[in-house]
Amino acid sequence: MVQNKVFMYKSVPDGWPVPGKDLTVEDIGFDEAAPPPKGGFTTKNLYATYDPSQRGRMRHETVKSYSPAMAVGKPVVSVHVLGKVLKSDTPKIKEGSTVLMMSHYTEEYSAVPESAVKSTQVIEPKPGVPLTAYLGLMGMTGMTAYGSLHEIGQPKRGDVILVSAAAGAVGQAVGQIARQEGLHVIGSVGDDKKLDFIINELGFSSGFNYKKENISDAVKRLAPDGIDIYYDNVGGELLDVALANMKDFGRIVACGTISTYNDGSNSTRYGVQNYSAVVRKRLRWQGFIVYDPTIIRWKKERDEKVAQWIADGSFKSVDYVTHGMDHAVEGFLGMLKGENLGKSILKVADSES
């Protein structure tokens, strides 16, 4: 038996998750000598992603939503876990290969059953594309950004787009794609370091720190003629301000409402007041989940374009890495607090060998 630390989900948080109570790190052990599951394989894991949607799955099982509630007493489910294959009982997955597992436990070692082989992707990195990009721009996050921006946002060269949580995983991908396609890109962030980052590193046209400047003033200052596309990751007050500043026939891509995710059962929620603009300005406000067929159908185009943009240097794959399973809880809470620049990743093992 070797040590197998896992990021454990102990109880349903009410509001902000409490470390040590709702979330812990525990060693459940792993038998390296055991054969792989029949038709399956075993891995030593390298990376796991942190995603805000994990918070949504930490709920009572009776509350319905698009993705199932996580099971209390089991490890936290990550959207992607990247691992090296130790042993395999399936010809589809070779020993020594690098695999990307979907909706997988956050753990150091995995015994993966045959049923999960179908959703496992063998990664052969394209030249110039780092392995971690497959957790972000080339993974679910990039798919989210690319698919929804095109499917719902209908971007045209010269359009003005406002992106919220602009330095986050999805936000920086949306902003870079939009910049690449000739849009005027404005980012909203909650930190001056992030503001500097999106403008000077990612090439956004402009941005503002919503914690420092009045949001309405900032949007009017940066988009005096209004907004064609609002890419909404946060909901709340910025959504209201965006509604008030949309141009006629504008599109709101409803990707997430992260400002509401840690509302406890007793907290009062922000109410959006400017919804009359939907009629008056003929807005189209539409939600999606990355696994919807209308979003996934952009995959081939995303795979090609984004890989090329990363490889030719015009696109940054930005990772924000938490080192080691011992820090898994902090890393998760850090992402919920918005400490990350770009994609939040947990580096499960300290070495990739």
Ligand X SMILES: NC(=O)c1ccc[n+]([C@@H]2O[C@H](COP(=O)([O-])OP(=O)(O)OC[C@H]3O[C@@H](n4cnc5c(N)ncnc54)[C@H](OP(=O)(O)O)[C@@H]3O)[C@@H](O)[C@H]2O)c1
- The footprint of ligand X (CB under 6 A) covers 51-53, 141, 144, 165, 167-171, 189-191, 194, 233-234, 255-256, 258-259, 279, 288-290, 335, 338, 340, 344
Comparison of 30 and 146: residue with beta carbon closer to ligand X: 146
Looking at residues 35 to 94 of the shown chain, list those that interact with a copy of itself (rule: CB under 8 A). Answer: 65-66
CB half-sphere exposure, 20, CA atoms < 13 A: 0
Query: Judged by CB under 8 A, which of 149, 241, 283, 310 binds a copy of itself?
Result: 283
CA-to-CA distance for 325 and 346, rounded, in angstroms? 7
Pairing of strands 343-347, 41-49: antiparallel
Nearest to 222, CA basis, from 242, 236, 240, 250: 242
The 122-161 site mask, x for binding a copy of itself (CB under 8 A), equals ----------------------------------------
Helix (H, G, I), strand (E, B) or coil at 304: helix
Q: Which does 149 bind (CB under 5 to 8 A by kind): a copy of itself, ligand X, none?
A: none
Nearest to 262, CA basis, from 15, 12, 9: 15
Interface with a copy of itself includes 287 (CB under 8 A)? Answer: yes
Residue-wise burial string across 218-240, b where 16 or more C-beta atoms lie within 10 A, e elsewhere:
bbeebbeebbbbbbbbbbbebbb
Query: Judged by CB under 8 A, which of 68, 156, 272, 337 binds a copy of itself?
Result: 272
CB of 51 to ligand X, least distance (A): 5
* Cβ 164 vs Cβ 232: under 8 Å: yes
Query: Judged by CB under 8 A, which of 59, 220, 281, 327 binds a copy of itself?
Result: 281
Comparison of 59 and 327: residue with beta carbon closer to a copy of itself: 59
CB of 56 to ligand X, least distance (A): 7
From residue 60, how far is each of 22, 67, 72, 260 by CA, in Å?
13, 12, 9, 17
From residue 287, how far is each of 51, 177, 182, 253, 290 by CA, in Å?
18, 19, 24, 6, 10
* Binding span for a copy of itself by CB under 8 A among 20-28, 32-40, 109-117, 275-283: 275-283
CB of 149 to a copy of itself, least distance (A): 15
Q: How many CB atoms lie within 10 A of CB 98?
A: 18
Number of residues that bind a copy of itself (CB under 8 A): 31
In the complex, which residues of this chain contact a copy of itself (CB under 8 A)? 65-66, 235, 239, 248, 254-257, 260, 269-273, 275-289, 292
